[in-house]
Amino acid sequence: MLLSHNSKITLREEDPLITCIKNNFIFYSMLFISIFLVACGNEQQSTSNVNKSEPKEIAEERVLIDSLGNEVTIPEKPERVIAPYLEDHLVALGITPVAQWSVNDGASIQTYLQDSLKDIPTIPFDLPFEAVTSFNPDLILIGSPETVEGGKYEQYNKIAPTYVLGNEEKNWRDKLLKIGEIFGQTDKANEVLKEYDQQVKEAKEKIKSTVGKQSAAAIWITNGSIFMVSETASSGSVLYGDLGLQAPNLVKEVSESATSDWSSVSLEKLAELDADYLFLINSDKGNGSEMLKDPLWANIPAVKNGNVFEFDQNTSWLYTGAIANSQIINEVVKCITK
C-alpha cells in the first residue's frame, strides 16, 4: 500500500530509533564539552595555586630592621640560633640555642637554665668569630650595640644574619617581646608575661598577708668584695618593683650613683643596712667567706635577727628574665613566709 506524502513525514518524526540516536548524540556531546571545561578549569586552578604558593614561601622569610638600622632577613624557621646572655628569653619561648653563653672556658654558665640547656655546648661571652663560625648558625642575636662596635657586626653578618637589640629594650620584658617578634612568637611572649604577672600578684598578696610591709636587700659576695643590687635592676626590680618590698635607705643611696646592676659597697657601709631581710648570694662560700666572720657583719640588724637567706653562685639572683625572676619570687616567698 502506498503512503501519502504526509504519512512519510509522520513516520520519520515518530521513528523511535531516530529519536534515540539524536538524543544520544546530544547527551554525549554535552558530556564531552562538560569534561573538557572541567579539565580546563582544574588546570587553571592548579596553575593558580602554584602561583599563589610562591609568594607565600617568600613571605615566610621576614625582613626586620634592628637597632642599628640594618635590614636583617630572618629565616623561615631558625634552627641554629646563637644569642649569648639572651638564653632566658629563648628558653621561655621554647627555643633552644645551638650554643650557650659562658665565661672562663665554660667554667661559668647560667646554671639556673640547665634543665633546658644541659646538653648545649658553650661559647665564650665575647663571641670569637672562629667559635661562632664553628656552630654554623642561621641566626645571631646580639644583646646590645656596644657588643658589635669596631666592625664586629660586619664580621658576624658574614657568618649568619645578625640582629642587634638596642638600648630601647631597657628591661627584660622589652627584650622578651622583641625576641618574640623576631621569631614570630609575639603571642607566646605575651602569654609568658601574663603568667609571670599572675605569679607576681599571688606572691605579693601572700607576702602582704603574712608579713605585711617589710624591707629587704640583696648583696653578692665574690672574690672578697661585696656588691649590692640596684633598686630597679636585676633582682632589685623583683624585690621592689614586683613584690612591693621596701628599699632600705642604703639601697636607695647606692642606686642613685649606680653605673651597673650591682654596685660595690664596703663592709663598713654595709653595717648601716637597716633591712628586715637580707638575701645573700655567696660566690665565696667554698673559700671560707672570711668577711662573714667580721663583727661588723654580725651587727647588721638582719643578721642579728636571723633573717639572712644564703644562696650559692648558681642561683638565678644574678640574672634577669621571666625564668630567673620566677625562681627568685619562689625563693623570696619560701624564705619570708615560712
The per-residue pLDDT for range 244-270, each reduced to its tens digit, is: 999 999 999 999 999 999 999 999 999
Residue 158 shares a structural domain with residue 213: no
Helix (H, G, I), strand (E, B) or coil at 49: helix
User: Per the structure, how many domains does the chain have?
Assistant: 2
- In which band, very low, low, confident or very high, does the pLDDT at 34 lie, cut at 50, 70 and 90? low
Residue 13 lies in a domain: no
Band the pLDDT of 338: cuts 50, 70, 90: confident
Q: Using the Cα atoms of residue 99, residue 101, residue 102 and residue 105 in order, give the sign of their dihedral.
A: positive
Q: Are 301 and 248 in contact (CB under 8 A)?
A: no
**Whether residue 138 is found in the same domain as residue 234:** no
The CATH number that applies at residue 295 is 3.40.50.1980
Q: What is the pLDDT of residue 55?
A: 39
**pLDDT over 90, % of the chain:** 78
> Using 50, 70 and 90 to split pLDDT, how confident is the model at 30?
low
Do 272 and 324 lie in a common domain?
yes
pLDDT (0 to 100) of residue 289: 78
Q: Which helix (H) or strand (E) segment is 312 a member of?
A: strand 308-312
Same domain? For 76 and 126 the reply is yes
In this structure, are 96 and 163 located in the same domain? yes
pLDDT of 307-336, one tens digit each?
A: 999 999 899 999 999 999 999 999 999 999
Whether 140 is covered by a domain: the verdict is yes
Q: Quick: pLDDT tens for 93-124.
A: 999 999 999 999 888 999 999 999 999 999 99
Judge if 108 and 227 occupy the same domain. Answer: no
Note whether 234 and 307 are same-domain residues.
Answer: yes
The answer as to whether 38 is a domain residue is no
Under DSSP, the state recorded for 45 is: H
Query: Does residue 246 sit in the same domain as residue 136?
Result: no
In a domain, 94, yes or no: yes
On whether both 231 and 316 belong to a single domain, the answer is yes
Q: Is residue 56 part of a domain?
A: no
On whether both 236 and 308 belong to a single domain, the answer is yes
Q: Are residues 177 and 248 in the same domain?
A: no
Residues 6+ apart with CB under 8 A from 233: 258, 260, 261, 262, 320
Q: What is the pLDDT of residue 7?
A: 41
* Single-letter residue type at 326: S
Query: Does residue 60 form part of some domain?
Result: no
The answer to whether position 268 is within a domain reads yes
The answer to whether residue 48 sits within a structural domain is: no
Q: Quick: pLDDT tens for 54-79.
A: 433 444 899 999 999 999 999 999 99
Domain of residue 308, residue span: 209-336
Buried b (16+ CB within 10 A) or exposed e, 58-92: eeeeeeeebbeebebebeeebeebbbbbbbbbbbb
Asked if 163 and 141 count as a contact pair (C-beta separation under 8 A), the reply is yes
Residues 215 and 270 in one domain: yes
Cα separation, 30 vs 9, whole angstroms: 28
How far apart CA 167 and CA 239 sit, in angstroms, is: 23
